[in-house]
Amino acid sequence: MTVPDTMRAAVIRATGGPEQIEIEHIPVPRPGPGDVLIRLEASAVNHVDLFVRSGAYRTPIPFPFVIGRDAVGTVAATGSDVTAFAPGDRVWCNSMGYAGRQGTFSEYVSAPGERVYPLRGTVTAADAAPVLHAGATAAIGLFREAALAAGETVYVAGAGGAVGGAVVQLAVAAGARVVATASERDVEWCTGLGADVVVPYDADDLPRRLAAAAPQGYDVWWDNSGRHDFDLALPLLRLGGRVVVVAGLRATPTIPVGQLYVRDASLRGFAISNASVADLADAAARVDAALASGSLRSRVGATYSLADAATAHAAMEQGSVRGRVLVHP
């Protein structure tokens, strides 16, 4: 595969709003000994991308900085130490654009080989790109943080979103019973993902309905909304229940500590950006298996070209798109 000398990329030279994003021609990165050069087919906009671009999420950013977290594509070249991949292989990665690593909104992406995973079978870029970040987040939260076991009951708030939908699907695949809340228009979607009970999040009798849906209590409580109503959550936990905190960057909720105490319950906060290479690899194996079996999917709300990366970020930030926001080169 012939690799050009330059490429188009969506870059920022300072943190701030979407208007900071510019399309520039920059040199194609040359892979180091342990790196894989990927010709991009598709990427997605994640909320964490907005935090990094705006400066809300502190991390080393080498300017000019290529934005983006995920990449699905084809191996164009490999470093001398890489033996797991060869040019022409279809691959993906989902941990770029953070901790000094350049991002993925470019025609070519150089990623450390230990953060690159094979795209198996007939799974397409259109299948994979919408679920990579959300699926890995769900996998790490459910199985590393919450230690989910078959037969347990999981509550998922905000199940209509990308992460919420991934949590529902991976929990169901693991043999858990799932109770979810979502907007009225997303109830059917969440039911289709496998949730046993779906309640509109603005229901007047929400506490009663959640209690009735799990009379023995919830083993895992996952709130994607960022509101974190612990006065509602903690009394509904079963003994040993776990609350997974993955949203609400600036939220300051009240925590009724006594409810944690009497239930042997725990709060587990995590950000996928902090995940180790081993954690990401374990999550990738779960995502790969779910993609191959067709048990992990998401909705695509809008697709943009690389040239419209700023518009894609603005759409995500404004909440004007229902579903995942994809970017193609």
Task: Write out pLDDT tens, residues 52-69.
Answer: 999 998 899 999 999 999
Q: Is residue 287 part of a domain?
A: no
Determine which of 24-28, 150-154, 239-243, 318-322 has the lowest per-residue pLDDT on average: 318-322
What is the pLDDT at residue 252? 82
- Helix, strand, coil proportions of the chain in percent (round to 5)? 35, 30, 40
183: domain CATH number is 3.40.50.720
The answer to whether the peptide bond before residue 64 is cis (omega within 30 degrees of 0) is yes
The answer on 138 and 126 residing in a single domain is: no
- What pTM was estimated for this model as a whole? 0.95
**Residue 121 scores a pLDDT above 90:** no
Q: Is residue 294 part of a domain?
A: no
Q: Is residue 303 part of a domain?
A: yes
User: What does 12-25 look like in DSSP terms, one character per residue?
Assistant: ESS-SSGGG-EEEE
What is the pLDDT at residue 208? 97
The answer on 220 and 148 residing in a single domain is: yes
Residues in contact with 109: Cβ distance below 8 Å, sequence separation at least 6, in sequence order: 29, 37, 38, 40, 71, 73, 93, 96, 102, 103
The answer on 219 and 112 residing in a single domain is: no
Q: Is residue 116 part of a domain?
A: yes
Please write the tens of the pLDDT for every residue from 200-253.
Answer: 999 999 999 999 999 999 999 999 888 889 999 999 999 999 999 987 777 788
26: domain CATH number is 3.90.180.10
What is the pLDDT at residue 120? 86
Average pLDDT along the chain: 95
Mean pLDDT along residues 141-152: 98
CA gap 316, 327 in Å, rounded:
12
Domain count, the chain: 2
The answer on 269 and 176 residing in a single domain is: yes
What is the pLDDT at residue 226? 80
Q: Which two tokens stand for residue 41?
A: 């087919």
What is the pLDDT at residue 40? 98
Higher pLDDT, 166 or 228: 166
Q: Is residue 286 part of a domain?
A: no
Domain range for 148 = 133-273
**Residue 99 scores a pLDDT above 80:** yes
Please write the tens of the pLDDT for every residue from 84-98.
Answer: 999 999 999 999 999
- Please say whether the beta carbons of 192 and 159 come within 8 A: no
- DSSP H or E stretch at residue 117: strand 117-118
The answer on 194 and 181 residing in a single domain is: yes
Q: Is residue 284 part of a domain?
A: no
The answer on 58 and 171 residing in a single domain is: no
The answer on 152 and 84 residing in a single domain is: no
What is the pLDDT at residue 80? 97
- Please say whether the beta carbons of 123 and 91 come within 8 A: no
Q: Is residue 142 part of a domain?
A: yes
What is the pLDDT at residue 253? 83
The radius of gyration of the chain's CA atoms, rounded to the nearest angstrom, is 20
Mean pLDDT along residues 268-292: 95
- Please say whether the beta carbons of 146 and 220 come within 8 A: yes
Confidence class for position 164, pLDDT limits 50, 70, 90: very high
What percentage of the chain reaches a pLDDT higher than 90?
91
What is the pLDDT at residue 237? 98
The answer on 89 and 114 residing in a single domain is: yes
The answer on 85 and 180 residing in a single domain is: no
